[in-house]
Structure 1
């Protein structure tokens, strides 16, 4: 399944947002620097989600090739490398990749390949596992199903990823967000349910199983983890 026009448009908008607007914010949020109370809850929520996602993978990953799709500033990639994995860490934002490279511990540099580009690029090759924390939250159900279709032939074990859940609070925030001009706000998160993504997978003819894992709620950070098994 080729990338859809909506996937391409959303990807371009996300790239522009992170390289033009959000790089410094994310650099600080993912560091140990003091942040505001709201951002502290987001930082704590992301830390919990990263640990939850990593818990779905073996504690020993020696010999495994793992994709960190939308690696941001590199925290997940470093943890995977510490478990012995050979990691391909890719992000759409060259600026965030630069930060990730600078933060990578010297003793793990040989285990992580950092790249700027599309997380679904076929030239990245095959993987035993893939993870995508908060990098698919801007895409509609059909695009999410398309991502799974494109990864499935290159995936041996599982793909753990996050989406924004369809809670009353997030749905209200999502509807309110539509009222603002797109040029004046960040790319909009699209809330999803497990059933909605499963239906989109059926429509797209995507095989495999999609399993709900758990939800993390920490202040303004609300995210659900799912596991796709080809």
Structure 2
């Protein structure tokens, strides 16, 4: 449910972690952006990351991103650009589903569902959807939107408060959209592996890619000060993510890249290797 519009560097290893720890350069994710943090900072555990994300998206983050994920809420130009980018990601994923013609009566897991931007249109297409998010505020909003938009079909989607590590069940397709930004490289394989265990046929995932371009955009960081807006953010190289999928027995079938001024997202669709 979070995105990267700029990063703090323009070079590095093929597996680049944008993390608040020394000796690597650290960044803060400010709303939809990432700005560099100067000097050494304290190493934090993944549990600390998770708690920070949960608190952020139940409070300040929920207020901000709920507006971004809405079609008619008043937002500034940066937020409007991110809204457009996120919607493009959702529409491209739905286009893949529509092209395959397999939404109706199939089971889908939307891990990190936010306010239901993907889960609800999937349900409208006749899918059976199990959606979850670490934020109780996001889940509450998703349920309310589903009740309004789906009518009788609302019974075909369930929303639960859960982190990725506690997901269970088996589904035709597992989605994880704009969530990997909260996971450092050292936790990414564990998270993708768990999602893999829940997916029978397909996974569709997105992540904020490491690119030189993101490093060139770091100057935008000064436009959005305020520590209350910050959560840690991590960028991942496409080759690293694809390598994890291959090791777990998946191969990338389709890929796409959504780019706007303040939103960047790589989309991978992976299917089980024959």
For the 8 Å contact 1:209–1:229, the answer to whether it is kept is yes
Q: Matches of residues 26-65 of structure 1 in structure 2 within 5 Å?
A: 26-31=65-70, 32-57=72-97, 58-65=100-107
Task: State the aligned residue count.
Answer: 220
| Contact 2:202–2:269 (CA under 8 A) maintained in structure 1 | yes
Give the alignment partner of residue 18 of structure 1, picking from 57, 60, 64. Answer: 57
Q: Which has the larger radius of gyration?
A: 2
For the Cα contact (< 8 Å) 1:141–1:200, is it kept in 2?
no
- Give, in whole Å, the separation in 1 of the partners of 2:79 and 2:61: 13
Tell me the TM-score normalized by structure 1: 0.84
Which structure has the higher relative contact order (CA within 8 Å, separation 6+)?
Answer: 2
1:81-125 deviations in Å (ceiling 9; x for gaps): 011111011000000111111111223210110101123424x30
Could you tell me how far apart the structure 2 residues matched to 1:86 and 1:101 are? 15
Which structure dedicates a bigger proportion of its chain to helix?
Answer: 1
Q: Give 4+ residue runs of structure 1 displaced > 4 Å after superposition.
A: 172-177, 182-185, 199-202
Q: Which runs of 5+ in 2 are unaligned?
A: 1-43
What TM-score, normalized by structure 2, do the two folds share? 0.72
- Does residue 1:223 correspond to 2:268, yes or no? no
Q: Is the 8 A contact 2:209 2:237 kept in 1?
A: yes
Indicate how the Cα distance of structure 1 residues 96 and 217 shifts in structure 2: closer, same or farther if over 3 A, else same: same
3-state SS of paired residue (1:73): coil
Question: 2:60·2:229 contact (CA, 8 Å) conserved in 1?
Answer: no
Shift in Å at residue 29 of structure 1? 1.1
Partner SS state of residue 131, structure 1: strand
Distance 2:134 2:190 in 1: 18
TM-align CA RMSD: 2.6
**Stretches of structure 1 lacking an aligned partner (at least 5 in a row):** none
